[in-house]
Amino acid sequence: MFAVTAPAVAGQDEILTPEAFAFLEGLEKNFGNRRRLLMTERARLQQKLDGGWNPDFIADTKHIRDADWKVRPAPADLLDRRVEITGPPDRKMVINALNSGASCFMADFEDSNTPTWENQISGQINLRDANDRAIEFKDAASGKEYKLKDKTAVLLVRPRGLHMEEKHLKLDGQFLSASFFDFGLYLFHNRTAPYYYLPKLESWQEAQLWSDVISFAEDALELPRGTVRVTVLIETITAAFQMDEILHALKDHIVGLNCGRWDYIFSYIKKFRNRADVIVPDRGSVTMTAHFLRSYSLNLIKTCHRRGAHAMGGMAAQIPIKNDEAANNAALEKVRADKTREATDGHDGTWVAHPALVPIAKEIFDKLMPQANQLDKLREDVNITAVDLLKAPEGKITEDGLRRNINIGLLYLKAWLAGNGCVPVHNLMEDAATAEISRAQLWQWRHHKAKLDDGRVIDDNFMHAMLMDEAAKLDADTYTSAAAGMFAGMVMAPVLDDFLTTKAYDWVLEDERA
């Protein structure tokens, strides 16, 4: 028996029909316990890491890495993915992104979205309407009307990660998996070209769970095997050692892997949280040219192309800087350098956060990749070892970097609590992943008493003073107060919390009920 614990929102009954509920029930009852066991396994593995264990390529699955096999070929509309744009499933955003000129648009229920009940339900409505080409939007303030062009981007959807629960909904007294909720509702209402991005996988066993969920869903809806196609974000350090195994587990459904660079950096800090020898310097200095990130990117290309899968590059988070031509040109030059590196290395496409970056990224990939993709670029010259993937980045920790982390964390969390999960801060489009880097770095520096470049020690007193000083600079309101208290509590905690969003979600739930 389902019980909705949230106040009703517009369109809810269109999405949560009795038939949709029955479909979700099948997913949760068949796979809910298995998902919970895998989350327990994550906690057990973290204990091993806390004890000094290092991940490595798995000996027991060497036969999979050594064997010759390929994934199911990509469908025609996913052969060319040279530029993808991402954003929350907001109605105006969906129209603008589909009209942006990008090859694909990833509508994001995860890191770009605050999971209020309103956002979850309206997001599903917006995507259903987009697939039906029935989506329109009129801006109440400007009167401007938004409609789809004749040619639009291919739509992909990112559900929330396996660690999240949909706490507006209970089945037999237990919360439903947020992954199954987002995945299931979208598939139930959109059975033609249902394409997904799968986030935050940490092991091939989690990929196998997803494969079984997808196959079950296809059978339940009488869809041919391989109708549902997925791209997996490699955004955890453990998954980087299991890319072959993840592709193999999902070989009937997967079309590619993606370098989820921001979450990957966050995972690197989080997994090695107890290691004083793995201190990550200022976030701004950790670019994709850092050895551990470049190694992971190159190995992803090699692994994907050997298996006939697309190797997608990472996010350019820059947004146009108005009224400062020099700063804007410098930002765009960073984008060009990043996309040139990706296309030259062999990536089959890339991500951007803003429509203005679509033509820049497309121009570079059109020049360096005139064909649909680079699956024939096997990169047999690449030979990445565990040492390469684990090598700690070098650099300084500065007061400016520390303060910027606090400022980004506070501004992002404030917006997230207010219902907006995609926030422009300091001319970058921040989402949960980039805020997580800020939070995890602050915790790491304080926990290990790291030193600033001027020799000052980042101890509890120093960090507390910095947190208070930065919070005092923000406009005071309910969301600022809640964000400041929550963020400081997580930075000063004795143990690093797994995710910022799980704790913030509980606050949002209380706010919705108020």
pLDDT in tens, 326-358: 999 999 999 999 999 999 999 999 999 999 999
Measured distance CA(170)–CA(484) in Å, rounded:
31
pLDDT score recorded for residue 365: 98
Listed by start position, the domains of the chain span 2-390, 399-513
Say which CATH architecture domain 2-390 belongs to: Alpha-Beta Barrel (3.20)
Per the annotation, the verdict on 172 as an active-site residue is no
Q: Which of 35, 82, 158, 306 is catalytic?
A: 158
The pLDDT mean for the chain works out to 97
Residue indicated by tokens 């459904």: 253
pLDDT score recorded for residue 88: 97
pLDDT higher than 90, residue 1 = no
As a whole number, mean pLDDT of residues 94-109 equals 98
Which residue from 214, 235, 212, 236 is spatially nearest to 223, judged by alpha carbons? 214
- Token pair of 425, please? 């801060």
Measured distance CA(373)–CA(311) in Å, rounded:
9
* Class level of CATH domain 399-513: mainly alpha
Give the other-Cβ count within 10 Å of 382's Cβ: 17
Q: What is the pTM of this model?
A: 0.98
Q: Which of 80, 108, 244, 431 is catalytic?
A: 431
Give percent of the chain above pLDDT 70: 100
Model confidence over 119-152: pLDDT tens digits? 999 999 999 999 999 999 999 999 999 999 999 9
Amino acid at 144: K
**In sequence order, which ranges of 396-477 are alpha helices (DSSP H)?**
399-417, 432-447, 460-472
pLDDT score recorded for residue 446: 98
Q: Which residues contact 98 (CB under 8 A, 6 or more apart)?
A: 105, 130, 148, 149, 152, 153, 155
pLDDT score recorded for residue 83: 98
Per the annotation, the verdict on 431 as an active-site residue is yes
Instruction: Assign 27 a pLDDT band (cuts: 50, 70, 90).
Output: very high
